[in-house]
């Protein structure tokens, strides 16, 4: 699933190509993804200039004078910018055709993504989101304060988008390893000092991933079609049975909330 770094990478790739460009046509190549794609977009987007693109959690927010287009990449979605006369690919479900001859296309094989619209830029899906891990509110005490009396495991806690956004499965595993914290430890029993370290590791790992273009996943690629390269530096994720680079022990895998967790039992306590 594309997470915060992948969505940030997509945003950064789209901005120089599409900002301040005028839309000629919006095309729904299917009526719905996770939810219905608003039919009104086909007329509303005509002759609208893209003013800016922002990110909130895993949502792309494309701002126009008439309102904000809200896009989520779902489980396997990606966005490409191509020449507008380029043949459609299978699973190209939504398209913005721009006056300067480029098209932005949302490709989503599993159709768990979303294309929504808001006149004022607000939406219930956005209102429910927690803090951004790369902003000032996510300081060294935030996770500690939020975790008090929590009995759930710490990995599930930091992956809760109502607490903090964008810490997906890969980044949770890697951040916990870098902090030396067992993924099975109760969130409410982790000390303030360890949460301060974990917070810093989350920020550092997300920033490093953004710098190199996101994590190479099965279905993810950047706007220009090339993969991200953060996967080359993964310490535990996807490495079950391999030797830990820190201690030489074996990396293990367990299932938490129907997701695979990778960790080193020697390094993480």
Structure confidence by residue, pLDDT tens digits, 29-72: 999 999 999 999 999 999 999 999 999 999 999 999 999 999 99
Q: State the pairing for strand pair 78-83/59-64.
A: unpaired
Catalytic residue among 140, 250, 259, 265: 259
Catalytic residue among 3, 8, 95, 174: 3
Whole-angstrom Cα distance, residue 52 to residue 227? 24
Annotation marks residue 8 as catalytic: no
Q: What is the pLDDT, as a whole number, of residue 174?
A: 96
Q: What is the pLDDT, as a whole number, of residue 229?
A: 45
Q: What is the pLDDT, as a whole number, of residue 188?
A: 97
Annotation marks residue 2 as catalytic: yes
Q: pLDDT tens for residues 183-199?
A: 999 999 999 999 999 99
Catalytic residue among 2, 5, 133, 183: 2
Tokens 């779902």, residue?
A: 74
Whole-angstrom Cα distance, residue 113 to residue 91? 12
Q: What is the pLDDT, as a whole number, of residue 133?
A: 96
Length of the chain: 269
Annotation marks residue 240 as catalytic: no
- Selection from 113, 78, 101 nearest residue 17 by Cα: 101
The percent of residues above 90 in pLDDT, for the chain, comes to 83
The residues pairing with 131 across neighbouring beta strands, listed in sequence order, are 164
Q: Is 188 strand, coil or helix?
A: helix
Annotation marks residue 183 as catalytic: no
Whole-angstrom Cα distance, residue 64 to residue 11? 15
Residue 169 has pLDDT above 90, yes or no: yes
Whole-angstrom Cα distance, residue 6 to residue 248? 31
Average pLDDT over residues 142-160: 97
Intra-chain end-to-end CA distance of the chain, in Å? 28
Catalytic residue among 11, 55, 58, 155: 58
Whole-angstrom Cα distance, residue 269 to residue 264? 9
Give this prediction's pTM: 0.87
DSSP state of 235: S
């Amino acid at each position: 699933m594309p997470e915060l770094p992948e969505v940030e990478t997509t945003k950064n790739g789209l901005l120089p190509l599409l900002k301040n460009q005028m839309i000629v046509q919006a095309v729904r190549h299917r009526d719905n993804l996770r939810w219905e794609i608003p039919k009104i977009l086909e007329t509303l987007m005509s002759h609208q200039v893209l003013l800016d693109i922002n990110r909130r959690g895993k949502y792309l927010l494309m701002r126009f004078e008439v309102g904000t287009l809200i896009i989520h990449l779902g489980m396997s979605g990606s966005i490409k910018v191509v020449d507008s006369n380029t043949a459609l690919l299978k699973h190209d479900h939504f398209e913005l055709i721009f006056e300067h001859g480029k098209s932005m296309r949302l490709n989503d094989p599993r159709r768990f993504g979303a294309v929504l619209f808001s006149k004022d830029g607000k939406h219930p899906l956005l209102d429910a989101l927690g803090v951004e891990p790369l902003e000032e509110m996510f300081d060294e005490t935030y996770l500690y304060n939020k975790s008090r009396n929590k009995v759930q495991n710490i990995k599930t806690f930091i992956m809760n988008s109502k607490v903090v956004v964008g810490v997906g499965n890969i980044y949770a595993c890697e951040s916990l390893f870098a902090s030396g914290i067992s993924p099975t430890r109760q969130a409410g029993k982790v000390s303030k000092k360890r949460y301060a370290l974990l917070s810093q590791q989350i920020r550092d790992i997300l920033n490093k991933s953004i710098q190199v273009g996101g994590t190479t996943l099965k279905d993810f690629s950047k706007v220009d079609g090339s993969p991200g390269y953060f996967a080359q530096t993964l310490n535990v994720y996807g490495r079950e049975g391999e030797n830990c680079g820190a201690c030489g022990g074996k990396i293990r895998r367990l299932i938490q909330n129907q997701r695979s967790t990778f960790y080193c039992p020697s390094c993480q306590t």
